Amino acid sequence: MSTDAGTNNPQQQKQREFMSLLPLTLQIAGLPQAEHGKYFNEGQMEVRANSLRLAYKFARQLLVDMSK
C-alpha cells in the first residue's frame, strides 16, 4: 500500500537524506573497520559515533554549498 502521504513524512525524508549521504559521510570520517573477530568497546563506539555525526554535518554542508 503506497501512498504519497508516506513519502512526504519529514522523518522519512531525513532518513533517506542520511542514507544517501552515508558513503560520503564514511569517507569524510575516515574510520577504520574493525578487525575480523574483534569488537569495539563502548568508549570506542561513542568516539566513532561522534566522528560520524561531525562528518555528516560536513557532508550536508558540502551538499548545500555545491547546490548554490
Q: Is the pTM above the cut of 0.95?
A: no
Candidates 25, 19, 20; CA nearest to 57 is 25
Residue 28: pLDDT band with limits 50, 70, 90 = very high
pLDDT for the residue numbered 16: 95
Give pLDDT tens digits for 8-22: 799 999 999 999 999
pLDDT for the residue numbered 53: 97
